[in-house]
Amino acid sequence: MSVIVLTEHAQGSFKKKSLEAVQYGAKIAAMMGTSVTAVAAGNVSNDELQTLGAYGAQKVLHVADARLDNFSSRAFTKVVLAAAAQEGAKVIVCLHDTTGKAVAPRVAARLQAGMVAGAVGLPDLSSGFTVKKNVFSGKAFAFVNITSDVKVITLMPNSSAVVKGEGSASVEALSVSFDDQDFAVQVQQVSKATGSVPLSEAELVVSGGRGLKGPENWHILEDLATSLGAATACSRPVADSHWRPHNEHVGQTGGTIRPNLYIAAGISGAIQHLAGVNGSKTIVVINKDPEAPFFKAADYGVLGDVFEVLPRLTEAVKKFKANN
Amino acid sequence: MKILVCLCPVPDTTTKIAFGDNNTTFNSQGVTFIINPYDEWYSVVRALELKEAGTATAVHLITVGKADAEPVIRKALALGGDEAIRIDTDSNDPYVVAAQIAQYASAENYDLVLCGKESIDYNNGTVGGMLAELLDMNYLGFVSDIKVDGNNVTVLREIDGGDETDSCVLPLVISCQKGVAEARIPNMRGIMAARTKPLKVVAPAAISSVSNIVSFEMPPAKTGVRMIAADNMDELVSLLHNEAKVI
Ligand SMILES: Cc1cc2nc3c(=O)[nH]c(=O)nc-3n(C[C@H](O)[C@H](O)[C@H](O)COP(=O)(O)OP(=O)(O)OC[C@H]3O[C@@H](n4cnc5c(N)ncnc54)[C@H](O)[C@@H]3O)c2cc1C
């Protein structure tokens, strides 16, 4: 019996959300009186693998096959299934991101296991195995009870703060037998925005709507994002008009995010937009219309013109950073 | 090439979500149901485009639901598609939904199965991946462009902080999001034609659920907005640091 967690890394360094997932798995393991084993695939150094111990992993199973540096849902599913079989896993945790959302359903279907997609909290074991998740794109939560013996969870990033502890994990090689079909997906080209924080993981997000009037004005929003170290997002019409890339679109038909701080500039706060962002811890709304519905969902509001307020806020942030 | 498109009826996006029976059921009274936007705008339309281009020979639409799901399927048929299948059962358990579809699809030899990246009600996004495993197919998730060349499919797929171009041979399951196609509105001819298109009702296979929704909860209401003067951004920064503790 154990809990296993599928981790993700970028060029050999674990992503913050994976540390969160390991910590989450460790907490579940503690509740169940068992241990957590992390699973890593592809090229990662032994030193890096051991660091997972500081987040609660007793053991790391490493499948070093270099073909796993490219993602394949079939191959990663085999990795998780092999680890689960070896460890006698009762709970399998992946991230609720493009990797986890492609692997966890396959694993669940193979094991005929119940699955909770997008968990935002720890399971409640008092009567069954009940996990809280977002539904209706963040307009509500559901408590889902998994009734199968094995449970599969994808964890929404930023559901809890990552706290580094002590300890180093033991690393074991895991061998998995693959077939050609497992690597039938050929990766032709990868394009990544370098240096920026991925939106789903960002703790601070600055987002713009139609109130910014056009893509040529986005630099004032980017200046604020840079001063804060925040990621940028946008409303749907902004992405639809190609002012910003589609992956920045948040809301009911875009991404759902839960940053600590969401600053909305020139966004009206339509119900479909709120759905994707109302899990944010703190919401700041900047709008020139006192009737903008977003103010009702905000913690802090600034009534004013974004073209004046944003540069002022950027200056204030810079001043604060210089003094702290 | 034979395409199966998975459809899910969901509450209209403007729905004010409410729960009944002591927060254990979704209150659907007065709620308008629509086709899940990812299915309607992207999967269905891309399948139709492939048929119009002569690449696909047949486009089938499938949903798992009771009779009340039929108006939504007819609406999809009005956009196009050769036939629709409704598996006559209702479930909130994504495994049950995927296994029901897989059960039907395995006998039909589809080359391409399309679904939306998630349904906007329960936001699971799991049916595509589960179907791929149950049908022993490769799976490309969160796709924003699909090109088909003979037996070979090339997609643009979202990854962490960017995207990736992948290619793979059929059969495949693909989950679609923005970019895959431009939404269409059914025309009068389509609406008329949809009335007489075959809508097969299939008895469900015996599949037991492995999860169930116990209850719902609304997010805590905001206690009220605190307004900050537009010329006092130092105060906002100080509140974000000292009060909200987010910077
Ligand atoms: C099925 C469906 C799904 C949808 N999904 C999404 C979704 O996922 N995400 C999403 O965002 N939307 C979605 N929408 C669209 C949504 O209904 C709204 O139309 C959209 O969010 C509005 O974007 P906006 O706030 O940027 O623009 P607008 O509504 O035009 O608002 C612009 C705001 O900027 C303010 N403003 C203008 N100029 C200034 C200025 N100089 N300074 C300060 N403020 C200014 C205005 O007062 C206004 O409040 C969906 C709609 C449908 C029907």
Q: Which pTM value belongs to this model? A: 0.92
Measured between its terminal Cα atoms, the distance across chain A in Å is 47
Place of tokens 């994976």: A18
Q: In this structure, how many other beta carbons lie within 10 angstroms of the beta carbon of residue B206?
A: 6
Flag whether the ipTM exceeds 0.85.
yes
Interface probe with A: pick from B133, B157, B177, most Cβ of A within 10 Å = B133
Summary mean pLDDT of chain A: 95
Within a domain: B175: yes
> Mean pLDDT throughout B14-27?
94
Number of folded domains that form chain B: 1
List the single residue in B11, B134, B240 with the smallest CB-CB distance to A261.
Answer: B240
Within a domain: B242: no
Which range, of A100-104, A178-182, B17-21, B220-224, averages the lowest pLDDT? B220-224
- Asked whether A272 lines ligand 1 (CB < 6 A), one says yes
3-state secondary structure of B237: helix
Chains A and B: how many Cβ contacts under 8 Å? Answer: 279
Domain with residue B192: its CATH number is: 3.40.50.620
Q: Where in chain A is the domain with CATH 3.40.50.1220?
A: 199-323
> Mean pLDDT throughout B107-113?
97
Interface probe with B: pick from A6, A71, A95, A106, most Cβ of B within 10 Å = A106
- Asked whether A217 lines ligand 1 (CB < 6 A), one says no
Using CA atoms, how far residue A168 sits from A38, A56, A64, B220, in Å, is 12, 9, 19, 39
- A193 has pLDDT over 80: no
Task: Give the pLDDT band of residue B188 (cuts 50, 70, 90).
Answer: very high
With CA atoms as reference, the chain B residue closest to A116 would be: B124
- A52 has pLDDT over 80: yes
User: Contacts of residue B211 in chain A, CB cutoff 8 Å?
Assistant: 114-116, 144-148
Percent over 70 (pLDDT), chain B: 100
> Mean pLDDT throughout B197-222?
95
> Mean pLDDT throughout A284-304?
97
Which ligand 1 atom is nearest residue A252's CA? 8
pLDDT tens sequence across A34-51? 999 999 999 999 999 999
> Mean pLDDT throughout B56-69?
97
Supply the range of the domain harboring residue B71.
2-219
Most informative mutation of A287, A295, A305, A307 for ligand 1 (most atoms within 8 A of CB): A287
User: Contacts of residue A317 in chain B, CB cutoff 8 Å?
Assistant: 237, 247
Q: Do A252 and B13 touch (CB under 8 A)?
A: yes
- B208 has pLDDT over 90: yes
Within a domain: B66: yes
- Asked whether B14 lines ligand 1 (CB < 6 A), one says no
Within a domain: B91: yes
> Mean pLDDT throughout A272-279?
93
Q: Do A147 and B225 touch (CB under 8 A)?
A: no
Q: Where in chain A is the domain with CATH 3.40.50.620?
A: 2-183
pLDDT tens sequence across A4-30? 999 999 999 999 999 999 999 999 999
> Mean pLDDT throughout A148-177?
95
Within a domain: B237: no
List the single residue in A109, A133, A200 with the smallest CB-CB distance to B130.
Answer: A109
Q: Residue A200's pLDDT is what?
A: 84
Task: Give the pLDDT band of residue A194 (cuts 50, 70, 90).
Answer: low
From A30, A54, A32, A19, select the one nearest A40 (Cα to Cα). A19
- B162 has pLDDT over 90: no
Task: Give the pLDDT band of residue A196 (cuts 50, 70, 90).
Answer: low
Percent over 70 (pLDDT), chain A: 99
Torsion of CA A85, A86, A88, A90, to 10 degrees: -70
- A195 has pLDDT over 70: no
Q: Residue B221's pLDDT is what?
A: 81
The CATH-assigned architecture of domain A2-183 is 3-Layer(aba) Sandwich (3.40)
- Specify the CATH number for A199-323; select among 3.40.50.2000, 1.20.1440.230, 3.30.390.30, 3.40.50.1220: 3.40.50.1220
pLDDT tens sequence across B64-88? 999 999 999 999 999 999 999 999 9
Summary mean pLDDT of chain B: 96
Output the CA angle A126-B218-B12, nearest 5 degrees.
125
What is the rounded CA–CA span in Å between residue A37 and residue A198? 26
